Amino acid sequence: MIRVLIADDEPLIRAGIRMILTSADDIEVVAEAVNGREAVELARRHRVDVALLDIQMPVLDGLTALGELGRHAPGVRVLILTTFGEPDNVLRALRQGGAGFLLKDSAPGELIGAVRAAATGAAYLSPAATRHVVDSLAAGPVATRGEEARRRVAELGEREREVLALLGEGLSNADAGRRIHMSEATVKTYVSRILAKLGCENRVQAALLARDAGLGA
């Protein structure tokens, strides 16, 4: 079973997410938190696999809680819950090592799929949200950021750049493999190699780097 924590200060949001997740046979919601501080404490106490954190929470916000979990419960995979109105915060969370992000109005199947992906160590990037956030934001001067990204990507082989571009589109290993006629296991091997060469902590950071370098759709 995938042990999940939901952290959001809105009871209706928590209830809706719980209802969706508990409809899956392999997911168990073991804790709910109303703020980031409580989320960190409960995640450690209940041996949580995946934590869904809202960004805007009292006492301790989701971004700060993400950092705390990274220090005190590094095994917990964090998915950020957001809206299109919070792109700056989302980008910060992804660059800090979050496992991905979801829109609060995501379809039930997408929510379940994201939790399953995070639990296996993969990252989940909602294609629509990824395109909106990554295309519209800058973590620094555009020219400088793009130049640095292209320099790093130039160290990759042609096939590695092709796989990286698909990460930039938010594709899973399976979807990427189908796109370029490669087995899922082979794509996974390429992804591991790409992360090591680029010095990225996870697929999300690699996807952002791909977009900075001008790769992907």
Domains and CATH numbers, the chain: 2-135 (3.40.50.2300), 140-212 (1.10.10.10)
Report d(CA 90, CA 96) in Å as an integer.
10
- The pLDDT-based confidence of 144 (bands split at 50, 70, 90) is low
For 52-56, 70-74, 175-179, 191-195, which range has the lowest pLDDT when averaged over its residues?
70-74
More confident residue, 213 or 30: 30
- The pLDDT-based confidence of 139 (bands split at 50, 70, 90) is very low
Instruction: Please give the average per-residue pLDDT across 188-197, as a whole number.
Output: 93
More confident residue, 197 or 130: 197
| Most confident region among 122-131, 142-151, 163-172 by mean pLDDT | 163-172
Q: What is the pLDDT of residue 131?
A: 57
Report d(CA 40, CA 38) in Å as an integer.
5
* Percent of the chain residues topping a pLDDT of 70: 84
Report d(CA 175, CA 192) in Å as an integer.
16
Q: What is the pLDDT of residue 5?
A: 98
Q: Is there a contact between 210 and 166 (Cβ–Cβ < 8 Å)?
A: no
Instruction: Please give the average per-residue pLDDT across 195-208, as a whole number.
Output: 83
Q: What is the pLDDT of residue 24?
A: 97
Q: How far is CA 34 from the centre of its chain?
A: 21
More confident residue, 100 or 166: 166
Q: What is the pLDDT of residue 138?
A: 44
Report d(CA 161, CA 193) in Å as an integer.
11
Report d(CA 3, CA 115) in Å as an integer.
10
Phi, psi angles (nearest 5°) of residue 144: -65, -45
Q: What is the pLDDT of residue 124?
A: 76
Report d(CA 209, CA 217) in Å as an integer.
13
Task: Dump pLDDT digits (tens) for 77-134.
Answer: 999 887 755 666 666 777 677 888 888 888 899 899 999 988 987 777 666 555 555 5
More confident residue, 66 or 138: 66
More confident residue, 12 or 141: 12
